[in-house]
Amino acid sequence: MLAFGTIKTTVLSFKVLKLPSSKIEGSRQLKCKASKMELTITQPDDWHLHLRDGELLQAVAPHSASFFGRAIVMPNLKPPITSTAAAVAYRESILKALPADSDFSPLMTLYLTDTTSPREIKLARESGVVFAVKLYPAGATTNSQDGVTDLFGKCLPVLEEMAEQNMPLLVHGEVTDPNVDVFDREKVFIDTILQPLIQRLPQLKVVMEHITTMEAVRFVESCSYGSVAATVTPQHLLLNRNAIFQGGLQPHNYCLPVLKREIHRQAIVSAVTSGNKKFFLGTDSAPHEKRRKECPCGCAGIYNAPVAISLYTKVFEEAGALDKLEAFTSFNGPDFYGLPRNTSKIKLTRTPWKVPESFSFSFGDIVPMSAGETLEWQPSSI
C-alpha cells in the first residue's frame, strides 16, 4: 500500500505517461508509467454539496452517491433548513432519493438566521445527524435572503454555544455591501468579519467554504490547525474569470463566489496540492435546470457532481502531486470534523471519457461542468 493509495499500470503501448517518480512514496516506487494507469484511493467525501429537493433532488442525488461516501448537505432550500426537526426530515427525503444499494450518508446542516437560538444548537448536536451550521450573509447567494444581517449583534450567543458544542461554522465568505466590488467581497469579508470572529471566539471551528482568492489561502494558512479550514471546488481550481466570457457569455461557468483572476487560481492550486491538511474537497455542486441558467437573469451555480473526482485528479496530476490527492479528497475533511475516515475504496483509471452535453429528466435538462469535454481520469467503485 502506497502512502496515498495504490497505483497500478497496464502496459498497452510504448508511450510513456510523464509523472515525476520522485513524488511517489512507499514500498514500490514506479519509474515507468504506461498509457493506462490505475489509482486506488480511499473513498472521498464531499464537504460542501447542494442536493436541492423535490424532482431535482431525485435527479442529482445518485450522481453524488456514486463515488462519495458522505457529504455535508447545504440547507438553503425554500424554506431553509433552520431547525433540527427540518434537518431530520430533509435527511429522510435524501435517503429515499438514493439508489437502493447506496451506502451514501448525508451529513446535515442548519441555516443560521438572526433568530437561531442556542437551544437549537444543543438539539442539533444531540440529534446525531446535524454536523455543522451554515452562515449565509443575507443576499450573498442562492436562497440566502433569510440569512444573517448582523453576525456579532444578533448571533453571538449562538456562536458561543456552537464553540461549546464543538459544532463547526461553515461560512459563505463574502460581504453583501453593494459598494464593495464583487471581486473584492471575499477579501473584505476576511478583514471585517472572519478575522474579528476568530479573534473573539478562537475555540470556534470554522470552515471557509469555496475559497477563491490568495487572501483566503493566506488567511487559512495563518490560522491554527484544527480551528480553521477551507473547502475548494473544481471550478476554482481549474477556471479563472475569463471562462465566464470566452466566446460569449458562458452561464454554466457562473457561480458564487464568482471566479477570480488567474493569480488567485494559481494560489489555490498551490495550496491544495502542497499537502496542507487545512484544505479539503468541497464541490459546491449546485444544480439548476438549463432554462434557469440560460435566461436573462441566470442562476449562480455549477453542477460538477458527475465530474468532480475526475477534475480534482486532473489538477493534482498536472501539479505532479498525485501522492497528495488522497489526503485532500478522503482524509483532511473527516479529520477536521472528528469523523472516521472511510474504509471503502474507489478506483481511478486514466482512460479518456466524454462528459455528456447534458442530463435529461422529465422536468428539463441539467448541464454539467465540462459538458462535451473529454476527461482523462474516470472513477469507478471497487
Active site residues: 48, 50, 134, 172, 210, 284
Given a contact cutoff of 8 angstroms between Cβ atoms, the answer to whether 153 and 194 are in contact is: no
Helix (H, G, I), strand (E, B) or coil at 279: strand
Side-chain-side CA neighbours of residue 377 (13 Å): 21
Cα distance between residue 117 and residue 161, in whole Å: 9
| Sheet of 36-42, strand order | 6-10, 36-42, 345-354, 374-381
**C-alpha cell read off for 10:** 497496464
- Residue 134 main-chain phi, psi, to 5 deg: -105, 130
- CA-nearest of 44, 122, 49 to 83 is 122
Cα distance between residue 231 and residue 212, in whole Å: 10
Sequence length of the chain is 382
* Sign of the four-CA dihedral 191, 280, 349, 304: negative
